[in-house]
Amino acid sequence: MSVILVADDDDDIRDLVAYRLERDGHDVTTVANGLAALEHLASAQVELVILDVMMPGMSGIDVARAIRADGRLAGIRIILLTARTQEADLEQGYAAGVDDYVAKPFSPRELSLRVGAVLARRT
Partner 1 sequence: MGESAHNLLLAIAWGLLLVFTGLAVVGVIALVGIRAARQATSRRRQRDRGAIRSRIVAAIVDEGDAAAEADRELMALRGTAWDHAEAAVIAMLPKVRGDAQERLRTVLRTRGTEQRALAQARSLRAFVRCKGAFALGVLRSTDAVDRLIVLLDDRSALVRRVAVRSLGQIGDARAVEPLLALAARDLGLTRDIVFALHEIGLSGAPALRAAVGSWQPDFRADDRPAALAASALGMIQDVDASLVLADAVLRGPIALRLAAAKALGHLDTPLSLAPLQAALRAPSHQVRVAAAASLGRLGAEVAIPALVDVMRSTDSATARAAADALMELGPAGRAALESSGAPHAIEALALHRLRSG
Residues forming the site for partner 1 (CB under 8 A): 10, 12-13, 15-16, 19-20, 23, 104-110
CB–CB of 35/42 below 8 Å? no
Least CB distance from residue 10 to partner 1, whole Å?
7
* Sequence-distant (≥ 6) Cβ neighbours of residue 38 within 8 angstroms: 58, 63, 66, 67
Q: Name the residue nearer to partner 1 (CB basis): 15 or 70.
A: 15
Burial class (CB in 10 A: 0-12, 13-18, 19+), 9: middle
Dihedral pair phi/psi, residue 78, rounded to 5°: -130, 130
Least CB distance from residue 104 to partner 1, whole Å?
7
Least CB distance from residue 91 to partner 1, whole Å?
14
Q: Name the residue nearer to partner 1 (CB basis): 32 or 73.
A: 32
